[in-house]
Structure 1
Amino acid sequence: MSTEAPSVNISREATWKAHGYHARKPQPHHLEMEDYFAGPRDMARHSKLPFFMRLHGSVLPKMLLPLFFIGGWATAITLISKFTRADLGINSLLLTVLGFVVGLALSFRSSTAYERYNDGRKYWSQLMLTSRNMARLIWVHVEERHSESEELGKRDLLEKLSAINLLNAFAVALKHRLRFEPAAEYPDLEPLIAHLDLMAGTADQVALRKKKQTPWKSAGEYLGISFAESNPRKLIKRANDNLGNPPLEVLTYLSSYMEHVMQDKLMTVPVHQTWAFNNLSSLADVLTGCERVLNTPLPIAYTISISQITWAYVLVLPFQLYHYLDWVTIPGTMLAAYIILGLSKIGTEIENPFGNDVNDLPLDEYCRELAADIDVMTSAPAPRIEDWVYAANNRVLHPLSVTGFAGWQHRSLEEIREALRAKATTSVKSIHADRSETPLAEPKIATV
């Protein structure tokens, strides 16, 4: 027995681990501690806790250090005012004036961040729609020449599957591009593009592997410490090779397939050809739109100004609250800081909806869903009309009649028209009965 395959698998697994990927474990029924800080959030999970008690998805972990700092600041102001002659309290008029400005700044920050988040979701919805349409177009409307020869028919079938797999490759490649992961050896991408001549595939893969983070750096990222956050484009900046644009290159291969089927007259209907190239254009629009969302953040001047405004407001709070709250100034300032800085932190987190934060879009789940849909569609040959229209249990006039297609085929055209009118009358009566909640007499079922 050959031992070559196991050695290849071991080498590939080691490569995947070098990129930070590991074998997928069975999903537990409960969240592990590390899952509270890792994302994106699994939409299939359900928590029965009230929202105000949930930690997973909350910005509270990243608010701990700012809250400790604000608490210490408020404590210092309160102690100085309480036990020295220096009364640091000021009039609360400033609180009112600055509060209006802070409210406008946070409203602008939240609305622009969510707009980008929503745009990202729309582009991925468009990707799912277009990919499903393209897969169905190829699977149903590209001819398989089984009638000419068995070998030719099998070749056409395998070509169709290869082209449909490129739709999965486009989605996965786009996901990695949006996350600044330029390598070609990722476990979900490598099997889909290994046979393609992509620029990223010819680059030095060792230089594109992520280095293992130290525990201190990981903890700093979880806590939102800016000095611990790495440049997300670090791997791309350090690369000495041209990494290309994998999603765009995949579309080029898909275009070559469509050219092939048209040259071989496997897709002869003009509207189908137009539809195919419109779908390719739509996928290119998705790529460009996602890059626009990713590479056009809120202008840095706005980001700096809003951050300065919110922090200035929070730092001035103890001076304005002391005359009214005394010792309660400390928890009151921390509560106000959590609200104000928390809203600002949420805006910062969802500004880039394609990352790995808990509240980012679950791109991995979208890619798996698309792959599953395509697998279901290709699990059976493209349906022919005789496979389902002429079936005995095709009740063409349901719910008026339980008679199948063959039974109505033997009726006259006048009888079919009369039955259709009766069906329409029954449907209208059913609607009125539902609205009035009045029981309707059971319709008379037509049978053969």
Structure 2
Amino acid sequence: MIVDAAPRLSQIVREVWKPLLILAVWDVIVTIAYFVLPFKAPSLPLTLFGSALALFLGFRDNSAYQRWWEGRVLWGAMINASRSLSRAARNFMPQPEARDLRRSIVLRQVAYVNALRCQLRRQDRDAEVLRFLSKGEAEPALARANAANGLLDGTGRRIADAMRNGWIDTIQQTQMEAVLVDIANAQGGMERIKNTPLPNQYRFFPTFFTHLFCILLPIGLVESLGYATPLGSTIAGLMFLAILQIGDDLVDPFANTVHDVPLTAMCRTIEIDLLQSIGDPAPQPVTPERGILW
């Protein structure tokens, strides 16, 4: 996620430079053609087309931002639920003989959020899980297609073991299971966002009409701008291409790009809070790199 307050025009240009270069060349061709073979083009249809396109792109960007923000809200809920699970394990099972089980539940939750982060970003999950769990404890979950859900199931079994051992009662078990339900619901929401793209119409038509508008733009402007058409048309085209790119950047909040929801930083927050809750040393928070928080 870009957290730098300074404008990042260079980032936008890097993302749209190819169609922008083609547009600039086209603008020059149209300008030369106008002075060789003068023609007239009505400006009103282009104005109406541009206004309609701006509304269309704005609606698409709002839809993309809603997905991005929902992803951020779900990860905020995951942070809260992780803290609640750790607190319940610590306070419900103060017995010395339950120490290993308490510790296992907390470490499994840290491993769980890191496994979920890797699954959403399509990265290798095994190494992250094995940072917190032994190979024997991690293997049953890693053998499953959804390792994060496997870790969560294992945590549920350990809570049931605590109840059978008499370390918690059924009410406390129910409360801890309710936290696991909240965690599972958050994971399901994240997977829905990741696995369900925007409908094809939201992706194809804005791209098609934006490129069509950029093609028509110099034809409608050359009569009034003259030799300045390549500059004016390219700048106007840049605005529409940038708006189109914003929707592409935000539509997948777990794509592991600079526009991503900062999953690494949030997993580190959970790791710090939970490790400190059981008295283990914790790493430092993730800090922005060149204005980007991963």
What is the TM-score of this pair, normalised by structure 1? 0.59
Q: Percent identity?
A: 24
CA contact (8 A) 1:199 1:244 kept: no
**What is the CA-CA distance between 1:101 and the residue it aligns to?**
1.6
Aligned to 1:99: 50
| Map of 1:337 onto structure 2 | 237
Check if 1:60 corresponds to 2:13.
Answer: yes
Please list the CA deviations of residues 224-267 of structure 1 after superposition, one character each: whole Å capped at 9, or x if unmatched: xxxxxxxxxxxxxxxxxxx5101110011000111011111101
C-alpha displacement of 1:196: 3.1
How far is 1:292 from its partner?
Answer: 0.7
Aligned mates of 1:367, 1:304 — CA distance in 2: 35
Q: 5+ unaligned residues in a row in structure 1: which ranges?
A: 1-39, 147-152, 203-242, 381-448
Shift of 1:52: 3.3
Q: 2:34 and 2:235 mapped to 1: Cα distance?
A: 20
| Secondary structure, aligned partner of 2:256 | coil
Which structure has the greater CA radius of gyration? 1
Partner of 1:346: 246
CA distance in 1 between counterparts of 2:88 and 2:239 reads 51
Residue 88 of structure 1: how far off its partner (Å): 4.2
Query: Which whole-Å CA distance do the structure 1 matches of 2:8 and 2:142 have between them?
Result: 46
Residues 88 and 162 (structure 1), Cα distance of their counterparts in 2 relative to 1, 3 Å cut: farther
Structure 1 position 255 matched with structure 2 position 159? no
What secondary structure sits across from 2:136 in the alignment? coil
Query: How far off its partner does 1:190 sit?
Result: 2.5
**Structure with the larger helix share:** 2
- CA displacement, residues 37-77 of structure 1 (integer Å, 9 cap, x when unaligned): xxx44x5xx66xxx33664xx32211112211110000000
Distance 1:305 1:53 in 2: 27
Indicate the RMSD between aligned Cα atoms, in angstroms. 1.9
State the shift of 1:269 in Å: 6.3
Q: CA deviation at 1:195?
A: 3.0
Q: CA deviation at 1:97?
A: 1.6
* Contact 2:16-2:242 at 8 Å conserved across structures: yes
2:41 equivalent among 90, 93, 106: 90
Amino acid of the structure 2 residue aligned with 1:191: R
2:131 aligned residue: 191
Q: Could you tell me which amino acid in structure 2 is paired with residue 256 of structure 1?
A: R
| Distance verdict in 2 for CA 1:143–1:266, change over 3 Å | farther
Residue type of the partner of 1:161? R
1:198, distance to aligned residue in structure 2 (A): 4.3
Q: How many residue pairs are counted as aligned between the two chains? A: 279
Structure 2 alignment gaps of length 5 or more: 281-294
Say yes or no: does 1:79 pair with 2:50: no
Higher relative contact order (CA 8 A, sep 6+): 2
**Distance (whole Å) between structure 2 residues aligned to residue 280 and residue 200 of structure 1:** 16
Contact 1:198 1:246 in 2 (8 A): no
Partner residue of 2:103? Answer: 161
Deviations 1:372-414, CA, capped at 9 Å, x for gaps = 011222229xxxxxxxxxxxxxxxxxxxxxxxxxxxxxxxxxx
| TM-score normalised over the length of structure 2 | 0.89
